[in-house]
Amino acid sequence: MIKQHRTVLIIDDFSPDRETYRRYLHADREYDYTVLEAQSAKDGLIACEVQQVDGILLDFSLPDLDGLEFLAALKKMPLSCRPTVVMITGQGNETVAAKAIKSGAEDYLVKDRITPLMLQVAVGSAIASSKLQQQLQQKIEQEKIVSQIALQIRQSLDLAEVLQTTVNQVRQFLQTDRVVIFQTQPNGDGAAIVESVGSQWRSILATNFYDPCYIDRYNDQYRKGLIVARTDIYNAGVKQCYVDLLAPLQVRACLIAPLFRGEELWGLLIAHHCSSPRAWQESEIDLIKQLSTQIGIAIAQSELYQKVQRELSQRQRVEAELSASEAGLRLALEAAKMGTWDWNILTNQVQWSANMEALFGLQPGEFDGSYAMFVSRLHPEDCDRVLDAINQSVATGAEYNIEFRVVYPNGYIRWALCKGQVFYNQTGQPVRMAGVDLDITPSKQLREEKEVLLLREQAARAEAEAANNSKDEFLAVVSHELRSPLNAILGWARLLRTRELDKETTNKALETIERNTQTQVQLIEDLLDVSRMIRGELQLTITPVRLATVIENTISSMSLTAEAKQIQLEVTLSCDCQILGDLRRLQQIITNLLTNAIKFTPAGGRIEICLHKYDDQAQIQVIDTGIGISQEFLPHIFDRFRRANSSTERSNDGLGLGLAIASQLTALHGGTITVSSLGVGKGATFSVLLPIFEPIINVKPEISPEITPPLPLADIRILVVDDEIDSLELLAFTLEESGAMIKPVSCASDALEAIAQFEPDILIGDIAMPQVDGYTLLSKIREIKGVGQIPAIALSAFAKEEDVQKSLEAGFSRHLTKPIEPTELVKAVSEVLIEINTVINK
């Protein structure tokens, strides 16, 4: 078995203890350890800076710093130099242990009680947990950066400011040496317009470049929107002219994303790693891809703003030139959406300037000059207020100054600012009133938009704070939920390998390992489902589905779980309706709701599952007599990662994703999901409404015979390729148990040598293999005469929809996701062979 490698730093001033810990780690049968040693905290910190360390065994009592002071110093170092820490104390002081965990230690051990297994499990669990937390934190930071850039684009029209913020945050996230935005020209010329670079590396800001490789090779690649990732420019197979261009810039590795202005290539977002070669991670490439889209939006938005500014400047210049003449005045009034009016109080006639009719939504010549027509255009809610202001001005001579709304015939509402003055005759009688009308609709709308944005910003800040708290709680829950089954798996696995257990204990151990492995698989599947939903990449396979069958199958699979808690399941299926949906995802909805009900219903309780027809929809209800839901938490029941109780005293496990996934899947099927509860201790009712599918031709379906189990694989010759030896042995054992003849190989070259002699009936190949992956292997096999067209099944730990589609397009008949149940593997082989024989017989 090939061991995985880890590097551990032991910091202890007592040499015999260091030697003991070194011996314990080297005794680990699963991992190959490189052990580093330091006698002081200072030496340990230096070691973390100069070498990549996976974990630290830290003695609490050191000659220069104690364990808590070391943890505080470690936090000041960059995240990439900050390994996980397992604290070792000389005595079982729980207070010291608690402070160590609070200060950042992942675990602690008491020196006099350490055993080899205890040390190996503690170090392994700490490193695994740390890596998972780092991956989650990196994903959160990536989403935070994209959100911040998108928010700044919406709030700022300063393109240079947006681009500078982008390169600063990208360099910080990637922990790389230089990030630039390069604006290109069609002929290959261009210049770096913004830059973020480390102090020890050369700045290339405002430097002009000519790339001779750009036009003849990379232009089309960038125009297609492809991301270019180079691990080492000297070993990437690129042209020498490209190497010559980058060498003076001290570049070893680069990551490049094209930037578009509409459909036109505008420039490049480039990350340079100068200190050493670098393998770019998928999350890093994904961040660059997302930010290139956001930058394209900023470019388009900035250019539109500049165009508007130019047009506005030009219009103002024209207005200034024409302001001296009467014609210029009229144009200025129209440009400013301003009109003049004069009301003869004695005759009740009104004179308007030429543009006033348009300001009041009238056609030219439509205004009849009456005071009544003016009043008819006022908004009903403002009419009395305007008339009172006019009467007040006429009575007192005060200035008429008011804002009101005008209603156009088509329903459009305009805001007007009206100012006027009353004129009197020699006897003091009011005779006329004149003034101006100004269209202030844009400024009012801008003011309202600012108020709306302010409210949104306040709500977003509150939501962000809540999301931050939820994130911390979620990370703690993820750590707990992944570590808990891992503890049982590792513990029983060690006992099986190191002790002779009786048959009953062995079976119990294997059942425990299998159950906890399935728990971890389900946790990962839930996280992947939520990730697909957030990105909008979850796809459904739509077919007509009988809901009654889905419910019956779900209840059948979960009845034992309910019986274990002595919970009574009651089923009422009052309609036999069909919907258009994805069978697997519909069963996932019902399973999640039923799992939730069983989890929160005490022993001896009752759960009712109902299917009714509700108008033109199918209604599924899951009603339980469980612990109920408080009114405060009820609105948040379907939120992702939300749990009614996230403390360490909670009595139920899980990530808080089941109901959120059920809600999202229901929405994707065009349905709705609701919940009701009378309160804590009074049970809950979950209701799902889905649109019913009525076939155009109502033909009674034939009753299909029961599906027979997969046939044994007797005399079937199978070539199995997997570079992971444990996985290869499991696959070979499973298939041999089904009667197949197996040829197991661990690399593509061995598979190509064996295929002609072995003449397999089917190929089962891993996708992710070193040097030659599964796609390339299948392509080479297809070129071999005689055996090149054998059917093939792909195995992969990649489970995204695009991964499945890529395997099918490459020529594989099936894509199976690891870990796979043995029965599912045998079934898949049988189905593929049956399909091939059916096609041949036709």
Is the model's pLDDT at 127 over the cut of 80? yes
Mean pLDDT of 770-779: 90
Mean pLDDT value across the chain? 82
The full DSSP string for 140-174 is: HHHHHHHHHHHHHHHH---HHHHHHHHHHHHHHHH
Question: What is residue 288's predicted lDDT score, i.e. its pLDDT?
Answer: 84
Band the pLDDT of 684: cuts 50, 70, 90: very high
What stretches of 641-724 show up as alpha helix (H) in DSSP? 658-668
Q: Looking up tokens 């694989």, which residue turns up?
A: 713
Question: Which pLDDT band holds residue 380 (cuts at 50, 70, 90)?
Answer: very high
> For 497-524, what is each residue's pLDDT tens digit?
888 888 888 888 888 888 778 766 766 7
Q: What pLDDT is recorded for position 529?
A: 67
Measured from the Cβ of residue 193, the count of other Cβ atoms closer than 10 Å reads 17
- C-alpha distances in Å from residue 19, one per residue of 8, 12, 297, 504, 539: 13, 10, 59, 39, 55
Q: Burial level of 55, CB count in 10 A (0-12/13-18/19+)? A: buried
Q: What is the 3-state secondary structure (H, E, C) of 518-548?
A: HHHHHHHHHHHHHHHHHHCCCCCCCEEEEHH
Q: What is the CA radius of gyration of the chain?
A: 36
Contact 720, 764 (CB under 8 A): yes
> What would the mean pLDDT of 596-614 be, rounded to a whole number?
91
- 704 pLDDT exceeds 70? no
pTM of the model: 0.34
Q: Are 361 and 412 in contact (CB under 8 A)?
A: yes
The more confident residue out of 130 and 164 is 164
Q: SS3 helix, strand, coil % of the chain, rounded to 5?
A: 50, 20, 30
In the structure, what pLDDT confidence band is assigned to residue 195 with cuts at 50, 70 and 90? very high
Query: Which of 81-85, 382-386, 469-473 shows the lowest mean pLDDT across its residues?
Result: 469-473
- Average of per-residue pLDDT across 131-160: 70
Lowest mean pLDDT among 24-28, 98-102, 457-461, 696-700: 696-700
Lowest-confidence region among 572-581, 660-669, 702-711: 702-711
C-alpha closest to that of 363 among 373, 371, 355:
355
**Does the pLDDT value for residue 708 go beyond 60?**
no
Please tell me the predicted confidence (pLDDT) of residue 720.
93
Decide if pLDDT at 790 tops 80. yes
Q: Is the dihedral of CA 332, 335, 336, 339 positive or negative?
A: positive
Which has the closest alpha carbon to 608: 550, 685, 556? 685
Mean of the pLDDT values across residues 322-347? 66
At residue 675, the 3 state secondary structure works out as strand
pLDDT of 683 reads 92
807 vs 358, higher pLDDT: 807
Q: Where are the beta strands (DSSP E) in 519-668?
A: 543-546, 568-573, 578-581, 606-614, 617-624
Q: How confident is the model at residue 645 (pLDDT cuts 50, 70, 90)?
A: low
Confidence of residue 646 (pLDDT cuts 50, 70, 90): very low
For residue 809, CA distances in Å to 804, 816, 824 come to 9, 15, 22
Sort residue 739 into left (φ over 0), alpha (ψ -120 to 50) or beta.
left
Q: Report pLDDT digits (tens) over 337-351.
A: 678 899 999 998 998
**Mean pLDDT, range 390-397, rounded to an integer:** 91
Give residue-wise pLDDT tens across range 223-272: 787 888 888 888 877 777 778 878 888 888 989 888 888 778 888 899 99
Domains in the chain: ranges and CATH: 4-125 (3.40.50.2300), 156-306 (3.30.450.40), 337-439 (3.30.450.20), 454-534 (1.10.287.130), 539-691 (3.30.565.10), 717-841 (3.40.50.2300)
Question: What percent of the chain lies above the pLDDT cut of 70?
Answer: 84
Residues 620-633 pLDDT 10s: 999 999 999 999 88
Query: Could you tell me which of 369, 333, 325 has the C-alpha nearest to residue 350?
Result: 369
Rounded-to-integer distance, Cα 516 and Cα 442, Å: 62
C-alpha 528: how far from chain center:
9
Mean pLDDT within 582-595: 87
Task: Please tell me which residue, 312 or 625, carries the higher pLDDT value.
Answer: 625
Q: Residue range 685-705: average pLDDT?
A: 68
* Segment 434-458, tens digit of pLDDT: 988 888 888 888 888 888 888 888 8
Helix or strand holding residue 179 (H, E): strand 178-184
Q: pLDDT at residue 615 above 60? A: yes
User: Which residues are CB-neighbours of 80 under 8 A, at least 6 positions away?
Assistant: 175
The answer, yes or no, to whether residue 701 has pLDDT greater than 50, is no
State the pLDDT at residue 383. 92
pLDDT score, position 699: 44
Return the half-sphere exposure (C-beta side, CA atoms, 13 A cut-off) of residue 377: 26
> What confidence score (pLDDT) does residue 379 get?
92
- Model pLDDT, residue 124: 86
User: Is residue 483 pLDDT above 80, yes or no?
Assistant: no
Main-chain dihedrals φ then ψ at residue 633, nearest 5 degrees: -90, -15
**How confident is the model over 158-172, as a mean pLDDT?**
84
Residue 549's nearest CA partner among 579, 569, 594 is 579
Q: Kindly tell me if the per-residue pLDDT of 662 is higher than 60.
A: yes
**In the predicted model, what is the mean pLDDT of residues 44-72?**
87
Write a three-state SS string for 321-350.
HHCCCHHHHHHHHHHCCEEEEEEECCCCEE
Percentage of residues of the chain with pLDDT beyond 90: 17
Query: What DSSP letter does each residue of 199-252 carry, written as one string?
Result: TTS---BT-EEE-HHIIIIIHHHHHTT--EEES-GGGS---HHHHHHHGGGT-S
Distance CA 805, CA 402 (A): 65
Q: What is the band of 758 on the pLDDT scale with cuts at 50, 70, 90?
A: confident
